[in-house]
Amino acid sequence: MNVFTMLQGRMSARVNLDFSQIVPSIPFILEGVIVTLKIVIFAVLLGFALGVVLALMKIGRIKVLAWFADAYTSVFRGTPLVLQLVLIYFGIPQLTGVDIGPFPSAVIAFGLNSAAYVSEIIRAGILAIDKGQREAALALGIPYKLMMRDIILPQALKNILPALMNEFITLTKESAVVTVIGAMDVMRRAYIVGGQVYRYIEPLLIAGLIYYVLVMLLTLLGKALEGRLRKSD
């Protein structure tokens, strides 16, 4: 046997994949999709609502609120998401004595983190609207709250929809870090299956495929929403 044959044999052994032991566990891994989607949906709602408030603070005239919003964004954008998640999961029980499970910890951490990015997206969208519309609304005596709700924000949302969808897609992928606090999401279940059959590559590849499908579905949803908004113009 020559050296080339030996190397070829070793390479084939290294890349040998066997999904036969993993196939029975695929339904178990797929159950984690529900957990992942629940975390992402609630985090998106929290992040969007808080992001709107922070964006309005940043463009408002009250300097204290603007400073707070900028500081909030700086902290959550400047520290790792996994650190924020762990601090919330372990910190809240230590500081308050109230136990908090993996699911609410993930929703809070992802929602607070997403709000920092969403606030910047919305702020940029609002500032991109022609100032003449604000001046015209104020000249007509329209209150500031009604102007922002009925005139400025709807136009801004049309312009920033692609950026918002990109943030939500990123959040879906980043949700895999909940495995560090024991949430039974797709990634955690893939790890469990790998430990049971002593093969980790195959279940992780399946988890990767699941996340890819979710991201593609979100991408198609974003394009469909963009198309509807364009037709409504």
* Segment among 31-45, 106-120, 121-135 with least mean pLDDT: 121-135
Q: What is the pLDDT of residue 58?
A: 92
Report which of residues 94 and 135 the model is more confident about.
Answer: 94
Question: How many helices (H) and strands (E) are present in the chain, helices listed first?
Answer: 11, 0
**Binning pLDDT at 50, 70 and 90, where does residue 11 land?**
very low
What is the pLDDT, as a whole number, of residue 18? 80
Torsion sign over Cα 72, 76, 79, 84: positive
How does pLDDT run across 177-192, given as a tens digit for each residue? 999 998 889 999 999 9
Q: Which of 30-39, 122-131, 160-169 has the lowest mean pLDDT?
A: 122-131
pLDDT at position 48 is 92
Q: What is the pLDDT of residues 82-99, one digit of tens each?
A: 999 999 999 988 888 888
| Residue 101 Rama label (left phi>0; alpha psi -120 to 50; beta) | beta
Q: What is the 3-state secondary structure (H, E, C) of 166-220?
A: HHHHHHHHHHHHHHHHCCCCHHHHHHHHHHHHCCCHHHHHHHHHHHHHHHHHHHH
As its CATH architecture, domain 30-163 has Orthogonal Bundle (1.10)
CA distances from 76 to 48, 85, 160, 198 (A): 15, 11, 21, 37
What whole-number percentage of the chain has pLDDT above 70? 90
Q: Determine the pLDDT at residue 232.
A: 63
* pLDDT of 174 higher than 80: yes
Helix axes 201-232, 153-174, angle to 10 degrees: 170
pLDDT tens-digit series, residues 198-214? 888 999 999 999 999 99
Residue spans per domain, the chain? 30-163, 184-232
1/194: higher pLDDT: 194
Residues in contact with 144: Cβ distance below 8 Å, sequence separation at least 6, in sequence order = 138
Q: Which amino acid is at 171?
A: L
Among 77, 59, 171, 221, smallest CA distance to 125 is for 59
